């Protein structure tokens, strides 16, 4: 049914205003009337059908960036989501349609590159359709979108190819003026490989190309790795975590920080696609993997956007393994807070001796590459295993890389690797086992 307001229609003025404004999205009103737009309902539904969105979104919070007339906003709301719509400028057609549909969607005006969780919170689902190529700073925008999301992001963008060549190098065109379709607000044209690479680089764990239709690529981006129900391989063992640039344990969400993780894995011939790092709740796509001898590996990944200030567990798994042990890293912590040990119940574990792991000097540990701290402790439960033990150097959580059997005095040796960028100075060291911790003792790093 087309738009045909009767003289008695209480919404007559609004409907006449709709017809006067001209629409990009078609809208079906509750009474069955159709507000015709440039894109038909079939076209809009087909665009949305490219993504694996559930039909039932009750309990989900969704964000529609670049909502325009609002059809996608209202469709997510119809499926049960609590929806916020954001656009760079106020669109009167959106406000009119929201009134006619009785929508409760929140409407915000803002630049995607300036959005933050502090302003609008986090979202289970984010729609980012037909926006990317309109932006001067597409990479920054994708990072912001990733930061706002906790689950799934649906990205649709103009691309310069049909996506048929999986070996195509990532390339992007830049349009200084009106080269693309005669529009001044079209700035970039990535090819499909470039769009996928940009989504991975923004911080998403998984990036899935769904389709390319008429030079429009549809990509689903996920913040989490899939879980393995019945892992068949042994879990990797994480031995050390550092800031890949500064080589210390300080991480900032305001910087483009990358995390370097060292681990042991019995799986031979690992490739980057076989390793799944996770920081806090979010997965992170590997950007670098190398074997450093035997079963020892290093993997680097981006610090996931959207982490709250505090300590977050870093861990990883391989392609068919369970998650390995973890080490906590501090994100956006002031220096004085970063050097405070996390709270835990003080137990009967006692540190008897502290030495350098190579020179065996007591209470004096040399910093630098391959720096190692050795402790001899009493009071560890007999069943204590290496993957349940951490050494706390001030606030840094260092995984145990060696645990001996008790000696004649009942002491067990624990070794832990220091971040290679750790600065010399006076520190305290403690041993944590599960939810308990020893009294801290002093140690000097030189």
Half-sphere exposure in the Cβ direction for 30 (13 Å, CA): 10
Q: What is the residue whose two structure tokens read 């002491």?
A: 411
Single pTM value for the model: 0.90
Instruction: Show pLDDT as tens, one digit a residue, over the chain (446 residues).
Output: 444 444 345 556 655 665 565 789 999 999 899 999 999 999 999 999 999 999 999 999 999 999 999 999 999 999 999 999 999 999 999 999 999 999 999 999 999 999 999 999 999 999 999 999 999 999 999 999 999 999 999 999 999 999 999 899 999 999 999 888 878 889 999 999 999 999 999 999 999 999 999 999 999 999 999 999 999 999 999 999 999 999 988 899 999 999 999 999 998 899 999 999 999 999 999 999 999 999 999 999 999 999 999 999 999 999 999 999 999 999 999 877 766 777 677 778 899 999 999 999 999 999 988 899 999 999 998 888 898 899 999 888 899 999 999 999 999 999 999 988 889 999 999 998 888 889 999 999 99
Between the alpha carbon of residue 102 and those of residues 17, 68, 347, the distances in Å are 17, 17, 60
CATH fold, domain 345-445, is Immunoglobulin-like (2.60.40)
Q: What is the residue whose two structure tokens read 């001067």?
A: 136
Residues 6+ apart with CB under 8 A from 235: 317, 321, 322, 323, 324, 325
Half-sphere exposure in the Cβ direction for 213 (13 Å, CA): 13
Can you list the positions of beta strands (E) in 244-334? 250-251, 258-264, 275-279, 282-283, 286-293, 296-302, 310-318, 327-331
> Around Cβ 320, how many Cβ atoms within 10 Å?
12
| pLDDT value for 184 | 81
| pLDDT value for 209 | 98
For domain 237-337, the CATH architecture is: Sandwich (2.60)
CATH number of 12-222, picked from 3.40.50.300, 3.60.15.10, 3.10.129.10, 3.40.50.150: 3.40.50.150
Q: Where in the chain is the domain with CATH 3.40.50.150?
A: 12-222
Q: Where in the chain is the domain with CATH 2.60.40.10?
A: 237-337, 345-445
3-state SS assignment for residue 18 = helix
């Amino acid at each position: 049914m087309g738009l045909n307001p009767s003289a008695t229609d209480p919404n007559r003025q609004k409907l006449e205003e709709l017809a006067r404004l001209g629409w990009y999205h078609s809208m079906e009103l509750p009474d069955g009337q159709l507000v015709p737009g440039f894109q038909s309902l079939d076209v809009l539904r087909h665009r949305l059908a490219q993504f694996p969105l559930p039909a039932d979104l009750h309990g989900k919070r969704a964000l529609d960036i670049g909502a325009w007339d609002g059809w996608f906003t209202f469709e997510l709301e119809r499926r049960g989501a609590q929806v916020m719509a954001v656009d760079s400028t106020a669109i009167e057609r959106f406000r009119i349609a929201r009134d006619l549909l009785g929508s409760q969607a929140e409407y915000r005006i803002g630049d995607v590159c300036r959005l933050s969780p502090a302003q609008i919170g986090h979202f289970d689902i984010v729609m980012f359709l037909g926006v990317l190529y309109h932006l001067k700073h597409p990479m920054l925008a994708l990072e912001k979108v990733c930061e706002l999301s906790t689950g799934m992001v649906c990205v649709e963008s103009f691309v310069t190819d049909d996506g048929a060549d999986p070996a195509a190098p990532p390339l992007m065109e830049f349009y200084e003026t009106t080269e693309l379709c005669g529009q001044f607000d079209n700035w970039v044209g990535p090819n499909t490989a470039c769009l996928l690479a940009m989504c991975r680089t923004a911080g998403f764990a998984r990036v899935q190309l769904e389709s390319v239709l008429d030079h429009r690529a549809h990509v689903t981006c996920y913040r989490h790795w899939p879980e393995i129900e019945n892992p068949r391989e042994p879990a990797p063992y994480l031995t050390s975590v550092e800031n890949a640039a500064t080589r210390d344990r300080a991480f900032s969400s305001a910087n483009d920080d990358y995390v370097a993780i060292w681990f042991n894995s019995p799986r031979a011939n690992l490739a980057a696609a076989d390793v799944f790092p996770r920081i806090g709740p979010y997965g992170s796509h590997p950007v670098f993997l190398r074997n450093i001898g035997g079963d020892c590996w290093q993997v680097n990944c981006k610090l996931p956007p959207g982490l709250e200030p505090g300590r977050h567990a870093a861990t990883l798994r391989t392609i068919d393994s369970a998650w390995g042990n973890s080490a906590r890293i501090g994100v956006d912590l002031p220096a004085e807070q970063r050097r405070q040990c996390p709270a835990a119940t003080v137990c009967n574990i006692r540190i008897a001796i502290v030495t350098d792991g190579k020179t065996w000097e007591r209470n004096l540990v040399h910093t630098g590459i391959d720096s190692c701290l050795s402790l001899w402790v009493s009071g560890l439960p007999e069943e204590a295993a290496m993957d349940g033990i951490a050494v706390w150097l001030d606030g840094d959580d260092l995984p145990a890389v060696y645990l001996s059997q008790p000696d004649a005095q009942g002491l067990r040796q624990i070794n832990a690797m220091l971040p290679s960028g750790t600065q010399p100075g006076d520190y305290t060291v403690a041993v944590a086992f599960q939810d308990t911790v020893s009294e801290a003792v002093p140690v000097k790093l030189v």
